[in-house]
Structure 1
C-alpha cells in the first residue's frame, strides 16, 4: 500500500489571555521544550513533508520561533482571528500545490505524539481524533453510528441523550487537502460569535457523501493548555510518563516522583538517580553512572562509573569521563574531565579540560572570564591542584604538576613542577594580643 504525502497545519494563533503571561501561550515549556515544538515534533514524527504553523498578528514572537526552526515559508498569519476553520484557510497559500492528506493539530496540546495521530491517515474522507472523557463537561460530543461519525454536537446544543455521550472531540482532524479546503470554503459563520468552525466540515462532508469517522486517543494525550494550572497539570503528566519509561528501561530511581526530566533527557539502563535531581535539556547519562541528590544537570554528558553530587551543577559542555567524581557544591561548565579525575567539593571549573586522574582541591576556581572573553584552563593528567587555588586562564598545569594551597596561578606550570603563587607568611609574636587589648580599652572608654 502506497502512503500518500502528508502535511500538518498547526494552529497557534490563540491569544492565550488566560495564561496571564507576557510569554505567548504556545511558547510556554513542558519538559523544558515549548509546547509548539512538541506539536512540530509530532508532525515531523508523522513524516509530514510540509508543516505550516498558523500564528496571530498579536504574537510576532511565535512567528519568529517557527521561522528559526522551520523557515519563513512555514508561517501563516491569521488576521483577524475568526475561528478554527478560518485559521486553517489561512494556511492554504503555504500548502499550494500539495496533493496529499492534511492533519490539523494544535500548538497548545503538548502531549499528543505522532503515534497518537497516525491512525487518522488510515482512511479516506474526514477523520477526527476523539477521546473518552472522564468528565465530558463542555466538550463537543461525537455522535457515532457504528464506525461512522454522524455529527459533532457542541454541549450547549446537545440533547440530554447526547450529553450522556462520553466520546468527545479533541479538535484534531484530517482529510485530503483538496477535500478539506473545499469543505472549508462552504463553512458559514451564522453563529453567536460570527466565527468559522473547523468542526462544521464533518457535517458538510457527510452530506456530500464523503466518509466521516473517528479514531480515539487517550484523554491525557489530547489535553489542551489554556491556563497556568493546566500547564502544571501537563507538566506533571509529561514527567509521569517519562519516569515510567526510564524505570521500565532499567534506570533506578528510589523516589521517581522527585526527579524532573526534560524532553530529551537520556539515561542509560543501570544508572542510579537519587531523589531531587533536576535534568535540564541536553543531559546524557550513561548506564552505571550515579547522580546523587539535589544535583542539576543541563547540556552535559556523564559516562559510566562517574558520580555527580550531591548538590552539584553540570552546565552545558560539561563532559565527565568514566569514574570521574564531581562532588557537593561543584559547578562544571564547558570542561571535559578525563577518566578518574576528581573535584570532590566546593569548586568552579569553567572552560577547559582536566586530565586523567587529576585532583582538584576544595575551593579551586578556574578564572575563565576577563570581563570580555572566555579563556581555557588545561590541567594535565595526574596533576594535583591544592585547595583554594585560583587558576587564571589562559593557563596550563602540566602532567603530574602541583599547585600549593591558596595559590593564584597566572603562568603555565611545567610537567612535574610545584607552583606557589602566594605571599610568604610572616609571624609577628604578641601583635594580636596587643592589638586586641588596645581595641578593648578604646571600646570601654567610649562606653
Structure 2
C-alpha cells in the first residue's frame, strides 16, 4: 500500500521514496517481502505518489495497480476487485522499513498451512512504540493499548482477529521525521553489529 500523501513526514520526497539510511522505504519493504515466502507482490499506487508509481514500475517482480489513493480501505477494495487477487492477501504499508522476511513468514504461516481463513490485524503494544520513541498515530478501537503495524492479512471469511507482536521492526512505522531518524539509527546499529 503506497499511494498515500504522507504529509506528516514533511519530506521533500513522496513518503514511500523517503530514504531510510540511504534506501527508499518502499525498497526496504520490498526487500523484506523478497526474503519471505509471499507468492506475488502488488503495489497499490495512486496519483498522490506518481514518482513512486514510476519507481515501482521499474522493479522486477512487482505489479503496480492504480487506486484512487482515498485511504487504506478504499484502496484495498480496489485491489480486491481484481480477479487475479484472491484472499488471503498480505497487505503491508510502505512505511514499515524494518520489515523482515522472518516476521512476514510468522504472520502468513497459518494461511499457507490453511489453519485459518480469518482476516488478521497485526498489532504491537503502544508501550513498545513509546519505548522506541516512535509516534503513535493510531490505536485499535477495541483495545487502545495496541497500535496497528501497517501489516495485515485479508482473509476469505467474515471472521477477524488481532495478533500482538513484540518485534520492534514491526513497531516502527515512519510517519514523522523523528520516526525516520529512529528507523535509520536502528538500521545503522544493526549494520554495525553484522560486521
Shorter chain as denominator, the TM-score bin is 0.7 to 0.9
- Counterpart in the other structure of 2:138: 139
Using the size of structure 1 for normalisation, the TM-score is: 0.38
Q: Measure how far apart 1:28 and its partner are.
A: 1.4
- Counterpart in the other structure of 1:222: 171
Superposition pairs for residues 4-403 of structure 1, below 5 Å? 11-70=1-60, 74-79=63-68, 81-94=69-82, 96-99=83-86, 101-121=88-108, 122=110, 123-124=115-116, 125-134=118-127, 135=130, 139-141=138-140, 152-153=141-142, 162-163=143-144, 166-176=145-155, 178-179=156-157, 205=158, 210=159, 212-246=161-195
Decide whether the 8 Å contact of 1:129 with 1:217 is kept in 2: no
Distance 1:234 1:109 in 2: 9
Q: Are residues 33 and 55 of structure 1, via their aligned partners in 2, closer, same or farther at CA, if it must alter by over 3 Å?
A: same
Distance 2:160 2:175 in 1: 32
* Structure ID, larger Rg: 1
Deviations 1:88-129 (A, max 9, x none): 1222355x2345531111111101212122222224112222
Distance 2:164 2:10 in 1: 34
Unaligned runs of 5+ in 2: none
Q: Measure how far apart 1:70 and its partner are.
A: 3.2
Distance 2:27 2:137 in 1: 28
Q: Measure how far apart 1:238 and its partner are.
A: 1.0
Distance 2:59 2:162 in 1: 33
Give the number of the structure whose residues are more often strand, by fraction: 1
Decide whether the 8 Å contact of 1:53 with 1:75 is kept in 2: yes
Distance 1:104 1:41 in 2: 15
Q: Are residues 231 and 138 of structure 1, via their aligned partners in 2, closer, same or farther at CA, if it must alter by over 3 Å?
A: closer
Q: Measure how far apart 1:175 and its partner are.
A: 3.2
Q: Which has the higher contact order (CA 8 A, sep 6+)?
A: 2
Q: Measure how far apart 1:138 and its partner are.
A: 5.1
Q: Measure how far apart 1:229 and its partner are.
A: 2.4
Q: Measure how far apart 1:137 and its partner are.
A: 5.5
Distance 1:233 1:241 in 2: 12
Q: Measure how far apart 1:217 and its partner are.
A: 3.7
Q: Measure how far apart 1:20 and its partner are.
A: 3.0
Using the size of structure 2 for normalisation, the TM-score is: 0.80
Secondary structure at the counterpart of residue 59 of structure 2: helix
Distance 1:82 1:44 in 2: 27
Distance 1:43 1:229 in 2: 25
Decide whether the 8 Å contact of 2:4 with 2:49 is kept in 1: no
Secondary structure at the counterpart of residue 187 of structure 2: helix
Give the number of the structure whose residues are more often helix, by fraction: 2
Decide whether the 8 Å contact of 2:9 with 2:177 is kept in 1: yes
Distance 1:216 1:19 in 2: 25
Secondary structure at the counterpart of residue 70 of structure 1: coil
Unaligned runs of 5+ in 1: 1-10, 142-151, 154-161, 180-204, 247-447
Q: CA RMSD in A?
A: 2.5
Q: How many residues align?
A: 183
Q: Measure how far apart 1:170 and its partner are.
A: 1.6
Secondary structure at the counterpart of residue 12 of structure 1: coil
